[in-house]
Chains A and B, each alone.
Chain A
Amino acid sequence: MHEFSVTRSLVELCEQEASRNNMKTVRRINLKVGKFTGFSPDSINFYFEHLKADTRCHSACLVFEEIPIKIACRDCHGQHVIEEPTLLCPKCGSDKIELVSGREFFVASIEGE
C-alpha cells in the first residue's frame, strides 16, 4: 500500500528533472531497486498508470533493474551475494557483516524528448 506515496514521489521527482532539463515528454524511466527493500514493481506500475496522467510522464514506462543483496564479512573479508536477507556470512557463518548493496531505490535516468 505504501507504493502509492512512493509512486507519487517518483512522478514528482521525474517531473522536476524533466522540467529542469527541458524534456517535454518522458518516454522511459530507468529505476534501480534493491532486493532488500519492500517495494513491489507491480504495485508501483499499478499506481503509476493513474498518477502519470497530466504530467510530463503521461506516456512513460517504468523499467526496473534489481540490485542484489551483497554483504561484506569482516571476519573472512569475503563479499557475497545472498538470495535472502539473512545477515550471516554464507562462507564462515560470522555475523560481523556489513550490507554493501540491496537497500537502494533510485531513478537512474529518464529518457524522452
Chain B
Amino acid sequence: MKKINVLKPVLVSNQQRARENRKVFDKMNSLVINIIGSPGAGKTSFIKNIVTNLKTKYKILVIEGDIKGQIDSKTISRLGVDVIQINTVTECHLDAFMTAQALGRIKKKYDLVLVENVGNLVCPAEFEIGEDYKLAILSTPEGDDKPLKYPLLFHLARVIVINKCDLLPYVDFGVGDAIRNIRKENPGATIFEVAAKTGAGFDKVCKHLEKEIHARKKKNTR
C-alpha cells in the first residue's frame, strides 16, 4: 500500500471558481455582498429597502438564491431593477458554481450586486461565491443568543444587521446582549439596527454602502 500526500482543501474547486467569479465582478467594478440569514429573517425586505433607496443613484443587480420558486425575484423585479433567480433544488446554500451560472447571464455592468443566499444560518457560511464580503441578518424574534449558537457565520460576516427592531417591545431580545454576543465572535464587525417593515435605520446602512461602492471603484481604478 502506498501513501500520497494531498494537502488540498476539500472545497478547492469551489474556492478556485469563487476566485474566477471575483475576477468577473472586478472587471465590472461591482461591490458584491453575500446576504445570509435564517428563513424569515427579512433578507428580501432588507434588499427591497436598499434597492428603493439607492436605485436612482446606482446600477443594482439582485441575485436571488432559493431552493424552489420565483417569489423573491418577482418581488424585486417589481422595483425596477435587474434580478436573476437561481434555484438550488437540493442544495441548502449557493456555491461558486451556481453563482458562475448567474454570472453567465449578466449583460451589463453594475455598481452593486446583492446576492440573497438560501435561508440558512449554517451551510451558506462555508461556501465562497466570489463576494466582497458576507452580510448576516439576525431578526429580533430569533433571539439574541443566535450569534453564540451559529458562531461561524457571525465570525465571517463583515456587516451584521439586526432586523425587526420595531418588534422589540413584543419579543424577548436584548439589543445590548445581541451586540455583546456578536462581538465575542467578531470584534470588528459593523453592526446596524433596522426595521425593514418601517424603513427605520436604513439611512445609516445606505450611507455605509455608498461609501463602500465608491471605495470599490477607487480601488479598481488605481
Contacts and interface: CB of A to CB of B under 8 A. Distances in A.
Given A2-B91, A36-B151, A106-B10, A86 B185 contact: yes
Contact of B13 (A9, A27, A38, A96): A9
B132 to A, nearest CB: 19
Contacts of B4: 17-18, 21, 23, 109-111
A111 B4 CA distance: 6
A111 B122 contact: no
A43 to B, nearest CB: 11
Contacts of B126: 2, 6, 37-39
B122 A2 contact: yes
Count chain B CB atoms within 10 A of each CB in A5, A23, A112 and give the residue with the most: A5
Contacts of A37: 126, 152
B92 A2 contact: yes
A95 interface: yes
Interface string A12-23: 111001100101
Nearest to B90: A4
B1 interface: yes
A92 B148 CA distance: 21
A13 B6 contact: yes
Range class of the A interface residue count: 35 or more
A113 interface: yes
Given A2-B127, A95-B183, A9 B10 contact: yes
B92 A1 contact: yes
A61 B93 CA distance: 27
Tell me if A's interface is mostly helix, strand, loop or mixed.
mixed
Contacts of A96: 187
Given A9-B13, A111-B2, A113-B1, A87 B155 contact: yes
Interface string B171-192: 0000000000001111100000
B8 A113 contact: no
A111 B1 contact: yes
Interface string B1-37: 1111111111111100000000000000000000000
B187 A13 contact: no
A9 B15 CA distance: 11
B10 A113 contact: no
Contacts of A112: 1-2
A107 B3 contact: no
Interface in A42-100: 84-88, 95-97
Nearest to B12: A13
Given A110-B4, A110-B6, 16 more contacts: A1-B92, A2-B127, A4-B90, A9-B12, A12-B13, A13-B12, A14-B6, A17-B8, A36-B151, A84-B151, A95-B183, A96-B187, A107-B10, A109-B3, A111-B2, A113-B2
